[in-house]
Structure 1
Amino acid sequence: MGSVSTARTTLRLGAGAGFSGDRIDPARDLAEHGDLDYLIFECLGERTVATGQARRLIDPNAGYDPLLDKRMRAVLPHTTATGTTVVTNAGAANPLAAAELVARTAAEVAGGPVRVAAVTGDDVLEQVRRHNPVVWETGRPLSEHTEELVSANAYIGADAVIPALELGATVVITGRLADPSLYLAPLAFEFGWQASDYATLGAGTAVGHLLECAGQLTGGYYADPVTKPVPNLAHLGFPFADVRADGSAVFGKLDGSGGTLTTRTCAEQLLYEVGDPAAYLTPDVTADFAGVSFTQVGPDRVAVEGATGGIRPDELKVTLGFRGGWVGEGQISYAGPRALQRAELAGDIVRQRLHEVHGLATENIFVEFIGAGAAFRGLDSSSDPHEVRLRVTAQAASFDAADAVGWEVEALYTNGPAAGGGARRSVTEVLSIRSCLIPRHLVPTDVHLLEVTV
């Protein structure tokens, strides 16, 4: 898989983002003060790649992460000065356009020459149509689905990124690269790990999985003010890892940054979104985290070892995006005595009008009472809340039908219960997200290199 680039004993990888909307200043701090070899931005989820595809359907030059330019402007002056390589899947649905954007940005802000590589091949729409796989959520072949299929993105692995690093890329932009593969690719490249060395690849995948959500490892999402207090969350520091050639690592964060890094934060992140810790399937390896151990080796420093792995899957997961119509939403607040009863009456009015006047099916109309048990669906609330926010959503086949939802909620101002206020409305086109598998030989990848001379 990898080819040794230098005689390294350790490699420092920093987490620059854990999702599309993540903060930028902690990544800038790492780029400036982290003494990093690589800075990694994980910016994709199943819905974010589908949202990117929806933007690309409207504008062929769009589809990449909306914050990509801001992120690169924040870190490239530092990464080019320190020799830090950037790897990100923020290319989303359009890695080539993303690479061109980064090249233009680098020409303005970089402190030296930049080689921007776009990794393509995860867009497998035509392959999926030809292969006609079974869709997980329905158990039926793709060809039996009547909805319009508009996107299909395979989870590619580290072997797609390594050729870009071999070409000397200093910024690598991919589409639907699997989250831990963002980190595994630099490790395999720098240490020369082979594609058949599943034990070491499993260890490297554990490193990537621990870092991939950025601030979650240093106390974000973990925090609770009573049982798990975390200091200075307003300035949460993102983590880095010093990784050895055997895949073991010590995790840390910048001294003085907010948050906390302990064996407990690491244990929670290790299990995050993992169904079977002994068989975590990735494009690179079937990782085994069952024997992982954490040791606190200093303030905000945790050592990890014990991960291993087995043979990689023969098939790759694919995220499918189907046109799913439109969703309309309306919200309005009620406060004071009997707030919940007034909100319930308002919800009944809107539900009835959406069905009888606008023809929406009742099973596609959803009413929530935020502040009165909305997060505990199906459970009755015994409290008498002082304020309740009514939220009505409905799925419809057209924009106009979906727009009726917010319209009817707003009309409650003078046509509904007393003292409603703060109405808001929106309409959003929906891509329904489903999944399937296809053989990995149907997913060839390629690298496109752009040279930027500053």
Structure 2
Amino acid sequence: MRANTTMRIGCGAGFSGDRIPPAVDLVERGDLDVLVLECLAERTIALGQRRRLRDPAHGYDPRLRARLSALLPAAVRRGVPVVSNMGAANPRAAGEAARAVAAELGLDGVRVAVVTGDDVLDRIDLDAPALEDGRPLAEHGPVISANAYLGADALLPAVASGADVVLTGRVADPSLFLAPLAHGLGWDPADWPRVAAGTLVGHLLECAGQITGGYFADPGRKDVPGVADLGFPFADVRPDGTATVSKLPGTGGLVTRATVREQLLYEITDPAAYLTPDVVLDLRGVTVDEVGRDAVRVRGAAGRPRPGTLKVSVGYHAGHRAEAGISYDGPGSRRRAELAGEIVASRLASAGVRLRVGVIGADGEECRLRVAALASTPERADDVCHEVEALYTNGPAGGGGVRTAVTDVVGIVSTLLPREAVTPATEILEDARARETA
């Protein structure tokens, strides 16, 4: 930390499939106090639960080992703790995997803190209404996962432990950032203006490259330089919560008033009352000012006491998806592809599947028929794929390049659970021993 005046926090991942090198660059050159990797989405954790059911040793983020293998040497050398929700559906196994990576790298004494308690499958009421449509949870399909969005208070014991790596399951994205900020800057958990400010910082950083020009880029309207080598963001946060968002010099992308304001509104439903586990965030007074090249100052968040309930993401089995395609080329290619689609739609009209048929491409060039369907059983889904494959000899001339796939579909709905029904715990893994604290 910079002489107890500011804290520099960086974001090295905005989703499970994010790039790894920009995070390593942040650790190597960013003079960070902490690095956060936000790698979890609603469907991600439900899919992790399914992997864990198949193998109790799995269920955490599949790229955990790759990320930590790249990051830990520099992070440990520079004393930069890594905080991440890569624990997904199995934080304890993720912690053991992290320790194994450290051992393989020859890094001695690496302490890993694991935060659990978000898995509330045994505590939800399946007759409770889903927030999205009011229907009982059980009506959506067989429930396979239920994970509460933990807040910063659940992470604070792990952060305060001095662990080199903190791994969690489902935690609200901004809370991953708020916890180390609150600990490092000495904020009271009931100091709502500062908790709101930290939550705002977390919301701005949580998607990594989105705020530095990725996803923002729109050629001719919003041009972004060097987007192929996009740098990831960090924020210098003062004790009063004022933050300056920036990126490393020499990296691609940009940080401007426009990129920050676009991320500010991302996924916000009510800017006067954005509900998080830590605070009811009010963004109406937020100001965004450019204070230098790739440097934007943000302040003015307001907050009210946190809700008495926690949001729960509920995953359920929603059926089976069939995806299939076939290509047509040369003169009349689009009309032949359209005819192929009409044939498939006609033959599956009474099959009891939700079907979508479309053609991509211009006439005279390669045109691709794309067929997608949602079916109740894998056999019904396979029937869809079979009809597309049958077009080789039962459809228009010149079809080729058939590709088919059948996958399970995980649906997501939400519900609420009283805060007191959720019991987070922290476990410290070090030197082949474990310590647990409530």
Q: TM-score range by the shorter chain?
A: over 0.9
Alignment partner of 1:72: what SS? helix
Aligned partner letter, 1:271: L
Aligned partner letter, 1:74: A
Matched, 1:68 2:68: no
| Post-superposition offset of 1:296 | 1.3
Q: What CA distance in whole angstroms lies between the structure 2 residues aligned with 1:169 and 1:129? A: 36
- 1:25-174 alignment runs, 5 A limit: 25-109=21-105, 111-129=107-125, 132-142=127-137, 145=139, 147-174=141-168
- Aligned partner of 2:270 among 273, 276, 291: 276
Task: State whether residues 129 and 137 of structure 2, in contact with CA within 8 Å, keep that contact through their aligned partners in structure 1.
Answer: yes
Task: State whether residues 81 and 112 of structure 1, in contact with CA within 8 Å, keep that contact through their aligned partners in structure 2.
Answer: no
Task: State whether residues 80 and 110 of structure 1, in contact with CA within 8 Å, keep that contact through their aligned partners in structure 2.
Answer: no
Q: What CA distance in whole angstroms lies between the structure 2 residues aligned with 1:416 and 1:59? A: 43
Task: State whether residues 133 and 438 of structure 1, in contact with CA within 8 Å, keep that contact through their aligned partners in structure 2.
Answer: no
Q: Which has the higher contact order (CA 8 A, sep 6+)?
A: 1
| Post-superposition offset of 1:340 | 3.0
Task: State whether residues 321 and 375 of structure 2, in contact with CA within 8 Å, keep that contact through their aligned partners in structure 1.
Answer: yes
Task: State whether residues 81 and 111 of structure 1, in contact with CA within 8 Å, keep that contact through their aligned partners in structure 2.
Answer: no
> Aligned residues: percent identity?
56
State which drifts further: 319-328 or 84-93: 319-328
Partner of 2:251: 257
Partner of 2:359: 369
Partner of 1:347: 341
- Aligned partner of 1:238 among 232, 243, 246: 232
Q: What CA distance in whole angstroms lies between the structure 1 residues aligned with 2:248 and 2:140? A: 52
Aligned partner letter, 1:350: V
Matched, 1:391 2:382: no
State which drifts further: 74-83 or 59-68: 59-68
| Post-superposition offset of 1:213 | 0.4
- Aligned partner of 1:404 among 383, 394, 409: 383
Aligned partner letter, 1:305: R
TM-score normalised by the chain length of structure 2: 0.94
| Post-superposition offset of 1:6 | 11
Partner of 1:16: 12
| Residues 143-184 of structure 1, C-alpha deviations (whole Å, 9 max, x = no match) | 5x2721111011111011001112221111111111111100
| Post-superposition offset of 1:282 | 0.6
Aligned partner letter, 1:151: S
Partner of 1:413: 392
Alignment partner of 1:234: what SS? helix
Aligned partner letter, 2:325: Q
Q: What CA distance in whole angstroms lies between the structure 1 residues aligned with 2:216 and 2:264? A: 12
Q: What CA distance in whole angstroms lies between the structure 2 residues aligned with 1:262 and 1:337? A: 48
Aligned partner letter, 1:142: L
Task: State whether residues 330 and 366 of structure 2, in contact with CA within 8 Å, keep that contact through their aligned partners in structure 1.
Answer: yes
| Post-superposition offset of 1:48 | 1.1
| Post-superposition offset of 1:7 | 7.2
| Residues 297-347 of structure 1, C-alpha deviations (whole Å, 9 max, x = no match) | 111111111112111111111111111221111012233443332222111
Aligned partner letter, 1:281: L
Q: What CA distance in whole angstroms lies between the structure 2 residues aligned with 1:335 and 1:452? A: 62
- Aligned partner of 1:429 among 399, 408, 415: 408
State which drifts further: 400-409 or 422-431: 400-409
Partner of 2:307: 313
Residues 371 and 57 of structure 1, relative CA distance in 2, 3 Å threshold: farther
| Residues 392-435 of structure 1, C-alpha deviations (whole Å, 9 max, x = no match) | 11222322321222232122222211222322111111122111
| Post-superposition offset of 1:82 | 0.5
| Residues 350-385 of structure 1, C-alpha deviations (whole Å, 9 max, x = no match) | 2233356xxx215x122122358xxxxxxxxxxx68
Partner of 1:289: 283
Task: State whether residues 329 and 425 of structure 1, in contact with CA within 8 Å, keep that contact through their aligned partners in structure 2.
Answer: yes
| Post-superposition offset of 1:215 | 0.3
Alignment partner of 1:287: what SS? strand
TM-score normalised by the chain length of structure 1: 0.91
Residues 99 and 385 of structure 1, relative CA distance in 2, 3 Å threshold: farther
Residues 452 and 231 of structure 1, relative CA distance in 2, 3 Å threshold: farther
Residues 233 and 6 of structure 1, relative CA distance in 2, 3 Å threshold: closer
Partner of 1:375: none
Task: Report the aligned-residue RMSD.
Answer: 1.9
Q: What CA distance in whole angstroms lies between the structure 2 residues aligned with 1:452 and 1:396? A: 50
Q: What CA distance in whole angstroms lies between the structure 1 residues aligned with 2:140 and 2:308? A: 29
| Residues 198-226 of structure 1, C-alpha deviations (whole Å, 9 max, x = no match) | 11111111111110000001000001121
Aligned partner letter, 1:289: L
Matched, 1:180 2:180: no
- 1:198-237 alignment runs, 5 A limit: 198-237=192-231
In the comparison of the two structures, how many residue pairs are matched?
A: 432
Alignment partner of 2:150: what SS? coil
Q: What CA distance in whole angstroms lies between the structure 2 residues aligned with 1:146 and 1:287? A: 31
Task: State whether residues 140 and 316 of structure 2, in contact with CA within 8 Å, keep that contact through their aligned partners in structure 1.
Answer: no
